[in-house]
Amino acid sequence: MKVLVEVQSSLTDATTEKFAGRFFHDKGNLFLSWVAPDEISDLRQPNAPVTESTYTIEYTAARHLLTMRREGVVTSNLSFIEGQKTKGVLSTDQGDFAMEIMTKKILIPGAIGPQAVLTYDILYPGQEPMENVLRISLTIANSTNSL
């Protein structure tokens, strides 16, 4: 179904916007995708066009596994299992950065409306853990939402 996606991260001070997306759920499994402008422009080319990234989140209930992918100028592939440490990769034009992720909490509501919440630490070698609380809100799109 068509939805509006709003994402808030405790790692950024960015104002939240809503983006057109697609949502599917069946038997506790879910799939969500949306496209959003990249938040970092290319400083070497001030007049460069705005680029976009595609975000995809999949949750497999039987495995309690949430995967989050970003494809664009920056590419990432992250996996989350509550109470476990997993590995992820962030790829930029500067290279690939391996990380570990310690997932503290995955809250997936049973219906559209309440926020989904993902709380985790990003662990880069030799650095202090960076905690992130990611909140994702969905609203069903209608003709007035311009989807």
Share of the chain above pLDDT 70, in %: 85
Which range (7-11, 25-29, 44-48) has the least confidence?
A: 44-48
* pTM across the whole model: 0.84
Cα 81 versus chain centre, distance: 15
Contact assessment for residue 2 and residue 22, using Cβ atoms and an 8 Å cutoff: yes
Q: What is the band of 147 on the pLDDT scale with cuts at 50, 70, 90? A: very low
Q: What are 37-96's pLDDT values in tens digits? A: 886 655 556 676 778 999 999 999 999 999 999 999 899 999 999 999 999 999 998 999
- Given a cut of 90, whether residue 124 has pLDDT beyond it is no
| 60 Cβ contact list (under 8 Å, min separation 6) | 29, 66
- Given a cut of 90, whether residue 125 has pLDDT beyond it is no
Q: Report how far residue 79's alpha carbon sits from residue 75's, in angstroms, rounded to the nearest whole number.
A: 14
DSSP secondary structure of 105-127:
EEE--SSSSSPEEEEEEEE-TTS
